[in-house]
Amino acid sequence: MSARTAAPPLRAALAAATEDRLVYDLAGIAGQYDMLRRELPGVRVRFALKACPVDDVLTHLAGLGAGVDAASPQEIEQALRAGVPLDRIHYGNTVKSDRAIAHARRLGVRDYATDNAEDVAALAAHAPGARVFCRLATSGRGALWGLSEKFGCPTQDAVDVLTAARAAGLVPAGLSVHVGSQQMTAGAWREAFDDLGAALAALRRRGIVLDHVNLGGGLPALGYADRHGSPLDPPLDKIFAVVREGMARLRAAHGAPLAFVMEPGRHLVADHGAIRAHVVRLARRRAADGHHRYWLYLSCGRFNGLYETDALRHPLVFPGHHDAEHVPAVVAGPTCDSDDTFAYHAETGEDRGLVRVPKRLSSGDPVWVLNTGAYAVSYMTQGFNGFAPLPLHCVGGGAVTAAAS
């Protein structure tokens, strides 16, 4: 089944819903996790909690053996409450205050990401003896979100950072990379493995032999379209082949046991979540250029579930209108904010591709927004313009449960 079509359990839950909600298919997420483990056997999976901080999802993944990549002490505490063993949690954020480091240390976390000497000094002071892994910078080319400036350091700096960590009494344990969120190319992974190989070799020359490499996130979801409406088709099979080859190459050159970690977030959950929304109004309005244009206003938008629509587009399903006459429309959320639009910039008038919608839509008609399992919860406001966050529900195993928000 295409990731652009809701799986039967998800479709059934959407059809049964009479009010707006965000629904997760736990069985679908489990299947995605199992597929990843088959493609990359032996890799330790640490779920990027920021992608979907939903307790039911986290507990389900923990039961399958996943750990957590946490970005704050609050995420560490959530992971522990959900039953994730402490030895499967690492603090993966290179940006940490002294207080946050001390808090994580009190919680028992041993593994910390870093990318600068100042952070190393703070870790030595507030988490003495901790294991550290240094994040290498990547270009981010080929990803929808490159993550290329705020995090990571060049190879030589990484060698110096881990050398300083050793001198400060910390354990230089690993290297990490992140090729960018929703990475669409296999070449980005090749470049990352080249940089990792160079860094491992330089560290060995200083007598530092690491025990693991963290390949970060970046594995893409399959169900998106770009902001112009063309399907995004990442070469996932090729990406997996490049990752397997890269791991084998690093292991062969390292001369010591080398474990691998990955931090999938979007890849595990995006295609297995969907929003049941409704039509606020389909209106025909005259634009500044004198032409009429349809606008479809939905009950959800950038501030309650669809924040990422500046870079991608989610498939829309209009149940009960499959064979109806369609018209091109701008899709927008319900708020008094001109950025709250879908594939159109209301201030500049930039048309990124209109969406074909049924002409006879009425206020209150249901709309399904697919492939919203990643970051929909994370980016929701607490009530911008009075529009509350969507209720969360999880389906799987024959039961429907309300999920903690």
Same domain, 160 and 298: no
Gap between the terminal Cα atoms of the chain:
29
Give bridge partners of residue 67 from the DSSP assignment. 46
How confident is residue 400, by pLDDT bands cut at 50, 70 and 90? very low
Which amino acid appears at position 252 of this protein? A
Residue 7 has pLDDT above 80, yes or no: yes
CA count, 13 A, side-chain hemisphere, 46: 25
- Secondary structure E strands in 115-248: 131-135, 143-145, 171-176, 181-183, 212-214, 225-226
pLDDT at position 402 is 46
Residue 176 has pLDDT above 70, yes or no: yes
Same domain, 354 and 250: no
384: CATH: 2.40.37.10
Residue 266 has pLDDT above 80, yes or no: yes
- Note whether residue 4 is domain-resident: no
Domain boundary among 220, 249, 270: 270
Same domain, 203 and 115: yes
Residue 398 has pLDDT above 60, yes or no: no
Domain boundary among 218, 236, 270: 270
- Note whether residue 230 is domain-resident: yes
DSSP 11: H
Domain boundary among 246, 270, 294: 270
Same domain, 309 and 173: no
pLDDT at position 82 is 96
Same domain, 239 and 301: no
Residue 399 has pLDDT above 50, yes or no: no
Can you tell me which residue has the tokens 């005259």? 286
Per mean pLDDT, which range of 7-16, 247-256, 368-377, 391-400 is the poorest?
391-400
Residues 6+ apart with CB under 8 A from 110: 87, 90, 130, 131
> Rounded mean pLDDT of the chain?
93
DSSP for 105-117, written as a single string: HHHT--EEEE-SH
Q: Which residue has the higher pLDDT, 99 or 322?
A: 99
DSSP 379: T
- Note whether residue 250 is domain-resident: yes
Angle between helices 98-107 and 117-126 (to 10 degrees): 50
Q: Please state the rounded mean pLDDT for residues 105-124.
A: 98
Residue 353 has pLDDT above 80, yes or no: no
Which residues form the domain of 198? 26-270
Q: Please state the rounded mean pLDDT for residues 305-315.
A: 90
- Note whether residue 1 is domain-resident: no
The runs of H, that is alpha helices, within 82-186 are: 98-107, 117-126, 155-167
Per mean pLDDT, which range of 105-114, 121-130, 349-358 is the poorest?
349-358
Same domain, 280 and 223: no
How confident is residue 349, by pLDDT bands cut at 50, 70 and 90? low
Number of domains the chain is built from: 2
- Note whether residue 225 is domain-resident: yes
Buried b (16+ CB within 10 A) or exposed e, 280-294: bebeeeeeeeeeebb
pLDDT at position 378 is 93
Q: What span, in angstroms and rounded, lies between the C-alpha atoms of 230 and 396?
A: 31
Collect contacts of 277-281 with beta carbons under 8 A, ≥24 apart. 277/20, 277/305, 277/366, 277/367, 277/368, 277/369, 278/20, 278/363, 278/364, 278/365, 278/366, 278/367, 279/361, 279/362, 279/363, 279/364, 279/365, 279/366, 279/367, 280/334, 280/363, 281/363
Q: Please state the rounded mean pLDDT for residues 345-374.
A: 85
CB-CB contact of 32 with 267 (8 Å):
yes
The tens digit of pLDDT for each residue in 37-56 reads 999 999 999 999 999 999 99
Same domain, 351 and 208: no
Same domain, 68 and 187: yes
What backbone phi and psi angles, to 5 degrees, belong to 264? -70, 140
- Note whether residue 173 is domain-resident: yes
Same domain, 201 and 286: no
The tens digit of pLDDT for each residue in 115-148 reads 999 999 999 999 999 999 999 999 999 999 998 8
The tens digit of pLDDT for each residue in 329-338 reads 999 999 999 8
- Note whether residue 223 is domain-resident: yes
pLDDT at position 1 is 52
Per mean pLDDT, which range of 53-57, 98-102, 314-318, 378-382 is the poorest?
378-382
Same domain, 307 and 175: no
Six-digit token string for 179: 């090729």
The tens digit of pLDDT for each residue in 209-249 reads 999 999 999 999 999 988 788 889 999 999 999 999 999 99
Same domain, 80 and 217: yes
Q: Give, in degrees to the nearest 5, the angle at Cα 191 between 190 and 192.
A: 90
Percent above pLDDT 90 for the chain: 83
161: CATH: 3.20.20.10
Residues 6+ apart with CB under 8 A from 361: 279, 282, 296, 318, 321
pLDDT at position 314 is 93
Same domain, 241 and 379: no
Q: What span, in angstroms and rounded, lies between the C-alpha atoms of 71 and 112?
A: 10
CB-CB contact of 260 with 240 (8 Å):
no
Instruction: Identify the three-state secondary structure at position 233.
Output: coil
Q: What span, in angstroms and rounded, lies between the C-alpha atoms of 74 and 80?
A: 10
How confident is residue 2, by pLDDT bands cut at 50, 70 and 90? low
- Note whether residue 13 is domain-resident: no
